[in-house]
């Protein structure tokens, strides 16, 4: 097929703008209905997951107790060390908890709100390129993607990251329409704050954002380059101000930067949370993702098909084959369109986002978890909606009908395979989808009847066939509780932790009651941030997590800990906990405590009273 699809595939920009000012009457109620349904999905029985990830929940609690802890993202309100991520997501969560009080709901609700906002902004972005129907479909597909239903009900930083990335895409689309440096600078600022949310992962969309503006903005090449330079400045400023603040702040009066070897946020960004994630090392398991094969919590084996494997497959890949087919077909059919063609701009934007992100996740050798895939969900939803809508509008021609039929059949087959991985859950669904796929694909190839009613029926069947499996799995994901540091989607509750060694359950009421009675700056100290977090949530008091996440951070040092004890600032040392890496001095502190203080047993744990 060497001809371009007829005009309906790609409307002139002025027609879109005119339609945007006078949408059909059904659009606004449909959008409100989508957002309301998304809110119900994300908020329903939200507190069943308790505090979700206790590591971040404890940091939010600490931020409600100390302004400095809020600013730096400290795990403890005494400000010994921070979590091993930048604090933007904690800023939002702590603000919510300060206003409404610290609880399970206030810990998890900000992420649910971010999810509703992400769906809304995705609708607005896709609508500008492909109309309200495609926008609604994209928003709905994002809302029910299993990994989205998981992470927008959980307190990891990924919810804020996705919101900022989708906002950045909206700003890029607005900028590209009119060659606006202001909108492009806003996109740069959004990615800059994305960096303060999850560091270099936010940069994975930059190639697509830059390429789209450079190719399609309606102005001269020189101005396009100048505007991109301004956006880079906005990005650097929005991300760099906090890095500069941390680097310039006297180290003696701020917490140690968790996860770094030299107490540096910039080192954390480039090492442990940057190149270490991609190439391994820097505290990232030295190739854990690739070397652990079937370990689904760490992504399984690296390679081209990782996104379809046991780790990532049911999280996000339900519509991934269809998105890739739609991307290739859409770029082919719009190859002769004008440089500023809105449909091609959208395909390049979301396609570049998806391809770069999927490639990095597929081949990175450091620490990678399946829930990272939530960053791919908006791009997949947008590509399927935009390409599917365009192909449907060109259904009078065989080529677009055949491609759309291929998207439907491939989605049905792949859904069958994914559903077969949990055969005990809703076993009839995979057969229903398979039959629908064959029937709908056949009708599309043979030709959609001209009757308006039959057209509506076939269109609804296309949407149902492609979306029902992911939606059912996403709703099921939202209906079960998730906790720990590595949540996974699906019909089974997940509560997987991380790190090494033992730990404390945050339901340990006797230990929490003991610590709640203390009046010292820190109620206790223990090895590892995870164990300290559980104790903080159980008691409401500050607890030193010696050595940070893995126990290997050099904070506090033995001399610093001795000074805390001598000043009467730490009441108890609790033996055990998760951590104990070789570099943090946690073993030295344990040896010193055991040699100088008497042990007792409380709630099954060995406890040393440091003030007796």
pLDDT tens digits along 493-502:
765 554 333 4
In which band, very low, low, confident or very high, does the pLDDT at 492 lie, cut at 50, 70 and 90?
confident
46-77 core/surface letters (b: 16 or more CB in 10 A; e: else): bbbbbbbbbbbbbbbbbbbbbebbbbbbbbbb
Residue 199 gets the label, from left (phi > 0), alpha (psi -120 to 50) or beta, of: left
Q: What is the value of pTM for the model shown? A: 0.92
C-beta atoms surrounding 101 within 10 Å: 10
pLDDT at 299 over 90: no
**CA distance from start to end of the chain:** 85
In which band, very low, low, confident or very high, does the pLDDT at 287 lie, cut at 50, 70 and 90?
very low
Q: Quote the pLDDT of residue 420.
A: 94
Cβ within 8 Å of residue 35, ≥6 positions away = 116, 119, 120
Q: Which helix (H) or strand (E) holds 158?
A: helix 158-178
Backbone angles phi, psi at 522, to 5 degrees: -120, 130
Distance of CA 69 to the CA centre of its chain: 23
pLDDT in tens, 69-109: 999 999 999 999 999 999 999 999 999 999 999 999 999 99
pLDDT in tens, 307-349: 999 999 999 999 999 999 999 999 999 999 999 999 999 999 9
Q: Which of 45-54, 246-255, 264-273 has the lowest mean pLDDT?
A: 264-273
Residue with tokens 């339901």: 507
* 80 contacts 555 by C-beta, under 8 angstroms: yes
pLDDT in tens, 124-149: 999 999 999 999 999 999 999 999 99
* 368 contacts 158 by C-beta, under 8 angstroms: no
Cis amide linkage into residue 556, ω under 30° from 0: yes
Q: How far is CA 196 from CA 31, 96, 160, 265, 497, in A?
A: 31, 18, 10, 10, 24
Query: Tokens in use for 485?
Result: 């540091």
The 3-state secondary structure of 209-236 reads HHHHHHHHCCCCHHHHHHHHHHHHHHHH
Alpha-carbon distance 61 to 101, whole Å? 10
507-533 core/surface letters (b: 16 or more CB in 10 A; e: else): ebeebbebbeebebbbbbbbbbbbbbb
Cβ within 8 Å of residue 206, ≥6 positions away = 191
Q: Quote the pLDDT of residue 498.
A: 43
Query: Tokens in use for 509?
Result: 């009421």
pLDDT at 293 over 80: no
Q: How far is CA 42 from CA 36, 175, 197, 257, 437, in A?
A: 10, 31, 21, 32, 29
C-beta atoms surrounding 575 within 10 Å: 16
Residue with tokens 């701020």: 254
Q: Residues, the chain, total?
A: 612
């Amino acid at each position: 097929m060497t001809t371009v699809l007829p005009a309906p595939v790609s409307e002139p920009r002025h027609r879109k703008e005119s339609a945007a000012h006078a949408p059909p009457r059904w659009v606004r109620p449909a959008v409100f209905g989508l957002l309301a349904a998304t809110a119900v999905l994300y908020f329903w029985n939200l507190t069943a997951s308790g505090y979700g990830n206790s590591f971040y929940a404890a940091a939010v609690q600490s931020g409600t107790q100390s302004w400095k802890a809020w600013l730096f993202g400290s795990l403890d309100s005494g400000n010994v060390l921070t979590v091993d991520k930048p604090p933007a997501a904690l800023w939002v969560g702590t603000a919510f908890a300060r206003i409404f009080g610290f609880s399970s709901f206030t810990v998890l609700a900000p992420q649910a709100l971010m999810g509703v906002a992400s769906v809304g902004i995705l609708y607005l972005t896709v609508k500008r390129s492909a109309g309200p129907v495609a926008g609604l479909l994209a928003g709905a597909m994002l809302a029910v993607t299993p990994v989205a239903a998981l992470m927008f009900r959980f307190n990891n930083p990924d919810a804020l990251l996705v919101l900022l990335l989708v906002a950045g895409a909206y700003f890029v689309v607005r900028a590209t329409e009119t060659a606006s440096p202001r909108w492009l600078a806003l996109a740069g600022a959004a990615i800059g704050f994305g960096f303060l949310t999850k560091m270099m992962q936010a940069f994975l969309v930059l190639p697509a954002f830059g390429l789209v503006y450079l190719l399609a903005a309606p102005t001269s090449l020189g101005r396009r380059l100048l505007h991109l330079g301004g956006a880079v400045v906005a990005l650097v400023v929005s991300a760099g101000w906090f890095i500069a603040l941390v680097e310039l702040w006297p180290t003696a009066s701020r917490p140690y930067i968790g996860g770094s070897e030299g107490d540096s946020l910039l080192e954390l960004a480039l090492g442990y949370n940057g190149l270490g994630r991609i190439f391994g090392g820097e505290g990232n398991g030295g190739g854990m993702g690739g070397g652990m094969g079937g370990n689904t919590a760490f992504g399984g084996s690296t390679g081209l098909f990782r996104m379809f494997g046991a780790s990532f497959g049911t999280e996000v890949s339900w519509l991934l084959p269809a998105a890739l087919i739609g991307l290739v077909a859409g770029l082919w059919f719009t190859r002769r369109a004008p440089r500023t063609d809105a449909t091609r701009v959208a395909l390049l934007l979301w396609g570049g986002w998806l391809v770069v992100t999927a490639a990095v996740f597929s081949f990175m050798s450091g620490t990678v978890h399946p829930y990272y895939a939530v960053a791919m969900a908006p791009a997949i939803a947008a590509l399927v909606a935009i390409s599917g809508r365009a192909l449907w509008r060109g259904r009078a021609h065989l080529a677009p009908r055949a491609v759309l039929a291929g998207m439907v059949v491939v989605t049905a087959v792949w859904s069958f395979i994914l559903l077969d991985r949990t055969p005990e859950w809703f076993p009839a669904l995979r057969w229903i989808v398979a039959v629908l796929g064959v029937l709908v694909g056949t009708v599309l190839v043979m030709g959609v009847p001209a009757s308006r009613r039959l057209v509506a029926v076939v269109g609804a069947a296309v949407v149902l066939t492609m979306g029902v499996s992911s939606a059912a799995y996403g709703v099921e994901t939202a209906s079960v509780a998730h906790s720990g540091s590595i949540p996974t989607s699906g019909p089974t509750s997940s509560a997987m932790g991380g790190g090494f060694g033992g730990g404390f359950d945050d339901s340990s009421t006797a230990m929490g009651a003991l610590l709640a009675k203390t009046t010292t700056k820190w109620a206790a100290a223990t090895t590892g941030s995870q164990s300290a977090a559980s104790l903080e949530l159980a008691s409401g008091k500050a607890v030193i997590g010696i050595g940070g996440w893995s126990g290997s951070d050099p904070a506090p040092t033995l001399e610093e800990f001795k000074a805390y004890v001598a000043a009467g600032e730490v009441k108890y040392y609790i033996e055990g906990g998760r951590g104990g890496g070789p570099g943090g001095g946690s073993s030295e502190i344990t040896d010193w405590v055991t040699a100088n203080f008497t042990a007792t047993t409380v709630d099954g744990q060995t406890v040393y009273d440091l003030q007796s």
